[in-house]
């Protein structure tokens, strides 16, 4: 009996413009959802204020997440395959200056929704951390075989949520998210 090899999912060929528009449109949709939730919900937006200490904490957390991501990528094959699929689809058509937008737009809009609005709306407790992080993880689902990437994004969501809770400042996860996206994308593009 001939054993069939498992086929890899075909990676859609997107243009640079399509990727940038998708990033921008997703950011706008997430921002609108956050604003509507705030408008019709009975809770405040998680605090966001300038603090040099929290900026440093966010930068440090971003570096730690990037290092953990690199180690996971190197030693956990299912995650590497899943990440490569997702990142090739998103990053391959982009040029290096586009990585600024890839850092800023998701970093701001995703943190506003998941940590700024959803976390306090769900009670700003351990259950809220888990639920908001799972929703964040599912946002990164791009195909049926992408579960390792979704699990990784959920774990990162937990780290980002606890960073907001422990510091009381949404600036920390925003900075960490932006830096992680930019550094991880840069390293992936340089390796590819």
Whether 8 is in a domain gets the answer no
**What is the SS3 assignment for 40?**
helix
Task: Check residue 63 and give its pLDDT.
Answer: 98
Token code pair at residue 170: 């949404």
Domain-located, residue 140: yes
**Residue 109 falls within a domain, yes or no?**
yes
pLDDT tens for the 192 residues of the chain, in order: 444 445 456 777 889 999 999 999 999 999 999 999 999 998 999 999 999 999 999 999 999 999 999 999 999 999 999 999 888 889 999 999 999 999 999 999 999 999 999 999 999 999 999 999 999 999 988 777 889 999 999 999 999 999 999 999 999 999 999 999 999 999 999 987
Expressed as residue numbers, the domain containing 87 is 16-191
**15 φ, ψ (degrees, to nearest 5):** -85, 165
Structure confidence by residue, pLDDT tens digits, 63-99: 999 999 999 999 999 999 999 988 888 999 999 999 9
Burial class of residue 114 (count of CB atoms within 10 Å of its CB; 0-12, 13-18, 19+): buried
How many domains does the chain contain in total?
1
Distance (Å, whole) CA 62 – CA 25: 24
């Amino acid at each position: 009996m001939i054993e069939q090899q498992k086929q890899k999912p075909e990676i859609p060929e997107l243009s640079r413009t399509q990727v940038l528009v998708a990033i921008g449109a997703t950011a706008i949709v997430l921002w609108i959802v956050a604003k509507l939730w705030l408008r019709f919900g009975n809770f405040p937006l998680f605090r966001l204020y300038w603090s040099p200490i929290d900026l440093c904490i966010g930068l440090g957390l971003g570096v730690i997440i990037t290092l953990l991501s690199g180690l996971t990528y190197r030693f956990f094959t299912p995650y590497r395959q899943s990440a490569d699929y997702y990142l090739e689809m998103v990053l391959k058509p982009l040029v290096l200056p586009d990585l600024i937008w890839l850092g800023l737009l998701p970093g701001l809009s995703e943190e506003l929704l998941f940590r700024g609005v959803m976390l306090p709306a769900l009670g700003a407790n351990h259950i809220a951390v888990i639920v908001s992080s799972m929703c964040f993880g599912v946002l990164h689902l791009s195909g049926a075989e992408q579960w390792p990437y979704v699990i990784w994004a959920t774990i990162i969501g937990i780290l980002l949520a606890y960073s907001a809770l422990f510091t009381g400042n949404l600036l920390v996860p925003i900075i960490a998210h932006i830096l992680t996206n930019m550094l991880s994308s840069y390293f992936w593009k340089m390796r590819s």
